[in-house]
Structure 1
Amino acid sequence: MATYDLTPRIAPNLDRHLVFPLLEFLQERQLYPEEQIFKSKIELLSKTNMVDYAMDIHKSLYHTEDVPQDMIERRAEVVARLKALEEGAAPLVAFLQNVNAVQELRADKQYNLQMLNDRFQVCNCNLCFSNG
């Protein structure tokens, strides 16, 4: 059945988030050895922020609790970036959680970035998060 599988042909043309369900399907159907599927999942996840999941797959694949040092380092990077983004977004999140402020925003419709910065400490830097 694996000879008719088109996944190897179409996967390079798809985003990672679209390939992952295909790998899940192939694993469920047992078209390929589970070890091969696990290795493909780890490779797919290696360039994402889903480090904890990649670590879990690595543990399942090699039947160990140890994970490679590069995964541990990558996890530390991801957690640090997440915390930095959360801190940067905190003023905006606080503003959006303030029901009165949001009601006022809806009613006035004349809010601009300068006023949001002056009254709620929401600035341009809170509104634009980059991937870099």
Structure 2
Amino acid sequence: MKNYFAHKMRERSPIEIVGIIIFGIIAITGLAILFGFVIMWLWNWLMPEIFGLTTINYWQAVGLFILFKLLLGGCGSGGGKSSKKCKDHDDKKSKSDFSKWQHYDKFWEEEGDELYKQYIERQEGTLNTTESE
């Protein structure tokens, strides 16, 4: 797994990597703030009129979201799941199972770069033959 990140970031400078991380933090923060405002807006628009409840502020909306996520979140993947389904979900191999990644580092150490170069040569050969036609 250690070589996975080295492979993905092979041609990126440290400044680009720091920029990506900072952009990710800013994007996640912006989405969290926006999501809190959307919950507050929906609550204040619907709940007082339908159920006669009071309006809420931004932090109450964020608290409601966290509360509902804790109560209905399930196995960390959303959607309320019973504990039996959670146990079944943990036992099965899922798409997020990374057990095959144990071979990834070894593959790149032994064969990766050479096979990648061969692949690029084949692709460039295919492009050259289609362009000449």
What TM-score comes out, normalization by structure 1 length? 0.31
Could you say which structure has the greater relative contact order, defined with CA pairs below 8 angstroms and 6 or more residues apart? Answer: 2
Larger radius of gyration: 2
